[in-house]
Amino acid sequence: MNLTILDIIIFTGYFTGVILFAIIVAARSKTKSASDYFLASKKLPWYAVGASFIASNVSTEHFIGMVGWGFLYGMAVANWEWGNVFTFSALIWIFLPFYMRGNVSTMPEFLEKRFNKSCRYIYAVVMIVGLVIAMLGGVMFAGAKAINVFFPQVSVTMGIIILAVAAGSYTIYGGLLSVVWADFLQYILLMAGGIVVTIFGLHYAGGISNLMASMPEKFIVFYSPQHEMIPWTGWVAGIFSVGIWYNCANQFMVQRCLGARSEWDARMGIVMAGFSKAFLPFIVVVPGIIAFYLFQSNISDGDQAWPFMVNQFLPAGFIGLVLAGLASAILSTLSAITNSSSTIFTLDIYKPIFRKKAGDKELHFVGRLSGVIVMVVGIVIALILASFPGITVFKLIQTVFFYIASPISACFLIGIMWKKITPAAATVTMIFGFIIVLPLTIFVNFPMIPLLQPYNSFMYHTFFVFCVSILILVILSFFTKPKAESELVGVIWTKSALRIPEDERKKYKGFRNLGIWWALMVITIVSLCVYTAMHGSKTLWLEAEKVNFTVTKNSTVEVQKRSALASKEKFNLWTGSGQVLFIPSKSGESLTFKVPVKEEGEYKLSALITLGKDYGNFHVLVDNQKADISYPLTILSETKPKFSVTNKTVAVFKPNDLIKEINENSGDSSIAGPHTVKRINFGTFSLKTNFTDLVFVAEDVLSSNSLIGVDQIMLTKNTKGKK
């Protein structure tokens, strides 16, 4: 990483500045009561609520993990951001009115008001364990790894300690007030830092329109239900089974809403967060697509994409700004986890179980002490994770929360919407869901039932548990005693939730009308999703191993699993289960794919193949027509523009010659291992309905470099005529 003195000054200036800012804010507020400490005296304006909501959510999981997914899967990853339009709307119109009007301090407290103390204690314990073990330690470790990439002299262990001390210092001292106002500053920095990378990237890549034209498959928004990571059905299922919990019933996210100065401020803060989510894919997904277009053969792992681009694109000073944005994302998440965990422990476990008569001063002290303990436990867990090389922290965090969310989501959503749900039913659902339904789903139902086997992933697991939890809730409620209706006032949804209180309605009308801004937020997100989907819908993206293929006699072919290379080198560029690996014994032998064509017309045909010194030469036939093979080549220049892309066309594709070209044109920038990938084009063809033959014919076969590896095949309908 080429850091200048200016970059280091900007980064260290931010690091110390944000800590001092947050501590000064808390000191000037003269925080004394438990309400002051845990809920910021309920004086937070809407813009602070919205900024903190986003800053708490965005972390290294986005800048490293989501950019990496964008590199592999394209804009379909944006659904994880755009899908929040549903859960944010539910939070605004269903949940927040009751949290605010019921004077709720924590989510477990709301469960007690709706059901009973057992539900409160179960949820409190689950939340603390999940937040501290799965998320705090994981984010701390992932953040330290990211810092180590930019500052190699800072070890992962030292990075963990620095992050813990930085986030803990102002969080433990100032409580939610310090957390939220630090988040407000960090929101500005992380958004600015992300936008800078995207702007530079689009400049070098020729703009978003060029990316859409060059790689239309990267703009597919909805994948098939059998897709390995982002099936559209799994995404929809996740909205209800996980999204409801994460955005509407999660102390980690909702606490800043509970500290709002009014119900309007709380709800408008979520509208602001919704607008942020609308554009977030342009700083955490589009950079991955840009990296694929420019540098697909310069890196060997999608998670390298964002740090690689930061180093390549940005001039002195801008790198420091972007690193400050990354650090902002890390610190805001760590502070939110620490603050919400200490709040739950103090208000949902310590006070009701151990010290029912504890006063403000004692609760204030316990909140700070538990914050210290939470942070120390997080450090220990992060250090344990650091001792396991190769662990995928992002998947660990996501999987844990996908699995714990379902029973909780069911209890919150059905419980608030239907007064007949009983306390006993909710208690059994939470216990039964975690201890019995979840293990059966993971280890028995999906692996052993043939109908469910094609959908054996954590997204479908959690939706199955969600549905079973609802069934348990409903069935048991018919046989157990519900709460008296007088006890349910203020915790069951009614039409009154659609309107803010009368006194606030008079104050916030006209330009400040909540409904108008919410509608604009929904229209913005839906429009962006539809526009992107229209471009991607013309393309069929096929995993090569799922297409029917044959080889000539005496040739060898196999489906090579991703682990075959990943276990030997840092390689994570194949999608699906792996690639189709063709091993010819002599020149002229061929690998033939039967590519499905649903509609007659003009199509552009492309493929993603593997590069490596052990891979050999080939030419391509499409329905017996010899194809001209073309591909983009990124050239690094000492003059402006720093990067330029030229398209090369060859009759015979020669991997080793291309590797030499890439090395010559990349200078010392490449960080790729022995194997990378390359997207190659075969031109436009008039194809008939049914199947078309895509044939890879081996040439100049040598024992040292004969392999031909195909990972993906792309078929794009040409609606503008043949080019």
What does the pLDDT look like over 292-307, one tens digit per residue?
Answer: 999 888 888 888 888 8
Per the CB < 8 A criterion, the answer to whether 493 and 414 are in contact is no
Q: How far apart are CA 318 and CA 324, in angstroms?
A: 10
Please give the average per-residue pLDDT across 630-649, as a whole number: 80
Place of tokens 């701390």: 140
Q: How far apart are CA 338 and CA 344, in angstroms?
A: 10
- Give per-residue pLDDT as tens, 505-532: 777 777 888 889 999 999 999 999 999 9
Per-residue pLDDT at 635 exceeds 60: yes
Place of tokens 């990211």: 146
Per-residue pLDDT at 620 exceeds 90: yes
User: Domain range holding 377?
Assistant: 5-30+41-536
φ and ψ of 20, to 5 deg: -65, -40
Counting the structural domains of the chain, the total is 2
Q: How far apart are CA 66 and CA 606, in angstroms?
A: 25
- Give per-residue pLDDT as tens, 408-454: 888 988 988 888 999 999 999 988 887 887 778 777 877 788 877 77
Question: What is the pLDDT, as a whole number, of residue 390?
Answer: 55
Per-residue pLDDT at 393 exceeds 50: yes
Q: How far apart are CA 219 and CA 213, in angstroms?
A: 10
Q: Of all residues in the chain, what percent carry a pLDDT higher than 70?
A: 96
Q: What is the pLDDT of the chain when averaged over all its residues?
A: 85
Q: How far apart are CA 376 and CA 382, in angstroms?
A: 10
Per-residue pLDDT at 139 exceeds 50: yes
φ and ψ of 622, to 5 deg: -120, 110
Per-residue pLDDT at 704 exceeds 90: no
- Give per-residue pLDDT as tens, 43-102: 899 999 999 999 888 877 788 778 888 998 999 889 889 989 999 999 999 889 888 888
Per-residue pLDDT at 723 exceeds 50: no
Question: What is the pLDDT, as a whole number, of residue 92?
Answer: 93
Q: Of all residues in the chain, what percent carry a pLDDT higher than 90?
A: 30
Residue where a domain terminates, one of 489, 511, 536: 536
Per the CB < 8 A criterion, the answer to whether 580 and 559 are in contact is yes
Per the CB < 8 A criterion, the answer to whether 687 and 601 are in contact is yes
Question: What is the pLDDT, as a whole number, of residue 17?
Answer: 85
Question: What is the pLDDT, as a whole number, of residue 120?
Answer: 92
Same domain, 158 and 269: yes
Per-residue pLDDT at 500 exceeds 80: no
- Asked whether residue 56 is assigned to any structural domain, the reply reads yes
- Asked whether residue 723 is assigned to any structural domain, the reply reads no
φ and ψ of 541, to 5 deg: -105, 115
Q: How far apart are CA 83 and CA 406, in angstroms?
A: 17
Residues 6+ apart with CB under 8 A from 608: 677, 678, 679, 680, 710, 711, 712, 714
- Asked whether residue 35 is assigned to any structural domain, the reply reads no
Same domain, 531 and 576: no
Same domain, 564 and 500: no
Same domain, 600 and 544: yes
- Asked whether residue 649 is assigned to any structural domain, the reply reads yes
Question: What is the pLDDT, as a whole number, of residue 629?
Answer: 93
- Asked whether residue 102 is assigned to any structural domain, the reply reads yes
Please give the average per-residue pLDDT across 538-562, as a whole number: 90
Closest CA to 528 of 282, 290, 273: 282
**Global confidence as pTM:** 0.88
Residue where a domain terminates, one of 536, 571, 589: 536
Q: How far apart are CA 236 and CA 714, in angstroms?
A: 25
- Asked whether residue 491 is assigned to any structural domain, the reply reads yes
Same domain, 273 and 300: yes
- Give per-residue pLDDT as tens, 345-364: 999 999 988 888 888 888 88
Per-residue pLDDT at 722 exceeds 50: no
- Asked whether residue 36 is assigned to any structural domain, the reply reads no
- Asked whether residue 305 is assigned to any structural domain, the reply reads yes
- Give per-residue pLDDT as tens, 211-261: 998 999 999 988 887 777 777 887 787 787 788 888 898 888 899 999 999
